[in-house]
Amino acid sequence: MSFSRFGQFLTQGSGIVQLMDDLGSAATTGDDTCMLGGGNPGAIPEMQAYFRNQMAALLEDRARFDAVIGKYDSPDGDERFRDALAGLLARTYGWNIDARNIAVTNGSQSTFFVLFNLFSGAFESGGERKILLPLTPEYIGYSDAGLGASIFTANRPSIELVGDDLFKYHVDLDALEVSDRIGALCVSRPTNPTGNVLTDGEVEALRGTCRAHDIPLILDCAYGTPFPNIIFTEARPAFGEEIILCMSLSKLGLPGVRTGIVVAGEEVIRAIGAANAILSLAPGSVGPALVLDAIESGAIIDLSNDVVRPFYRDKAFDTVEVMRREFDGIPYRIHQPEGAIFLWVWFAGLPITSLELYERLKARGVYVIAGEHFFPGLDEDWPHRHECIRVSYAGDADKVRRGVAIIGEEVRRAYG
């Protein structure tokens, strides 16, 4: 039996495949495993109780339950959900949108597969276009969306050293080159893996660049504003005709329902709906059903601001203090924690690659993600990409502390 080139690409291995394999392995290897590499959200008791109550209410409403599990939604997603979300965003932020500007997808990963292939590759006008990542490192899950083709180009960041042991990436706007071979810009905000939050000024500058070149700015807000709003600094939600805003229900505590959301112009929404129909007939119904009440009432904003954000903010700063204790005496810097559920650690001059460090840690039952996976589109062999790891602090606090201690031991051993 032989696979096509498509099949060979899918089975050759990638960073996102390794990440999900690690998640599955860690779930079955026992209580001693420290899973600091995955993207699973933390277990927030208030959010778990809220969603259990919503599920119970759905089960009690027989007609609605039967409709949710027994009928396909439209390819764009449930209309009541889209109406409610458009109303919430219009009331809260003054955006001029309605249900025609919103589509539901089967999770962010499928969202970006469709969007990247809408705006990169071969065009009828001639030539090939790519997706420009204005700032790397960027999300591991973007890398293979081109199905073997090189669809990304990327911009190295400028680095600001902050205090004794922190740093922050900034978009190097002076070095940003946008030619007619660029189909779209894409940034995650907060950035996965680093927790970096682009400033409002950086977002406005990128919007202006996109407007000038008549291309979209894809804003990946899976961790960001308006919900779940895992942002620890000031950041205004952004939308406009040049923006494609992407959101998710996962980091509210619903990764298993695989629900992504796209807010964009009608032409883009029609394309997303067409892709949904072709790839999966329709998006799933359960996720939108579980958050519908919170969307209609606006409670989703309050839950994000008052429950989700403080939970992660406290864990982030607690973990920074653990790292300061365990990494004392070795050359390290932590990206300034501004959001998301990860800390990005830079070991300057690390004598081994982060991939080798990953393997050493995995052998000791500690799972992180090597930095090499987070630089799609950056062709140069920048040493910095081999000196960083992504560490999730979302899980059990004792396992995070134990895992960080083992990271410190292995890094200290690597430096000799």
Total domains present in the chain: 2
Residues 6+ away with beta carbon under 8 Å from 358:
368, 369, 370, 389
Q: Which residues of 315-327 are buried (b: 16+ CB within 10 A; e: fewer)?
A: bbeebbebbeebb
Give the whole-angstrom CA distance, residue 222 versus residue 237: 13
Residues facing 131 on adjacent strands: 152, 184
Q: Tell me which DSSP letter residue 306 carries.
A: I
Residue 343, φ and ψ in degrees, nearest 5: -115, 140
CATH number at residue 80: 3.40.640.10
Given this model, what pLDDT does residue 23 score?
Answer: 55
CB 232: neighbour CB atoms within 10 A? Answer: 20
| CA dihedral over 266, 268, 271, 273, signed as positive or negative | negative
In the listed set 268, 300, 332, which residue is the last one of a domain according to the structure? 300
Closest to 374 in 3D by CA, of 137, 156, 151: 137
Task: Tell me if 209 is assigned to some domain.
Answer: yes
Q: With contact defined as beta carbons under 8 Å apart, do 391 and 407 qualify? A: yes
- Cα 103 to chain centroid distance, Å, stands at 18
Given this model, what pLDDT does residue 15 score?
Answer: 56
Task: Tell me if 353 is assigned to some domain.
Answer: yes
Per the structure, the complete domain to which residue 279 belongs is given by: 71-300
Given this model, what pLDDT does residue 39 score?
Answer: 84
Given this model, what pLDDT does residue 24 score?
Answer: 58
Task: Tell me if 34 is assigned to some domain.
Answer: yes
pLDDT means per 10 residues, the chain with 416 residues, are 73 61 57 88 97 98 95 96 98 97 96 95 89 95 80 96 97 95 97 96 97 97 97 95 97 96 97 95 97 98 98 98 97 98 97 97 96 92 95 96 98 94
CATH number at residue 349: 3.90.1150.10
In the listed set 300, 323, 352, which residue is the last one of a domain according to the structure? 300
CA angle 298, 299, 302 (to 5 degrees): 110
State the number of CA atoms in the 13 A half-sphere of 354 facing the CB.
25
Given this model, what pLDDT does residue 52 score?
Answer: 98
My answer on whether 381 and 272 are in the same domain is: no
Task: Tell me if 394 is assigned to some domain.
Answer: yes
State the number of CA atoms in the 13 A half-sphere of 30 facing the CB.
4
Alpha helices for 179-265 (secondary structure H): 200-213
My answer on whether 233 and 312 are in the same domain is: no
My answer on whether 143 and 230 are in the same domain is: yes
In the listed set 245, 273, 300, which residue is the last one of a domain according to the structure? 300
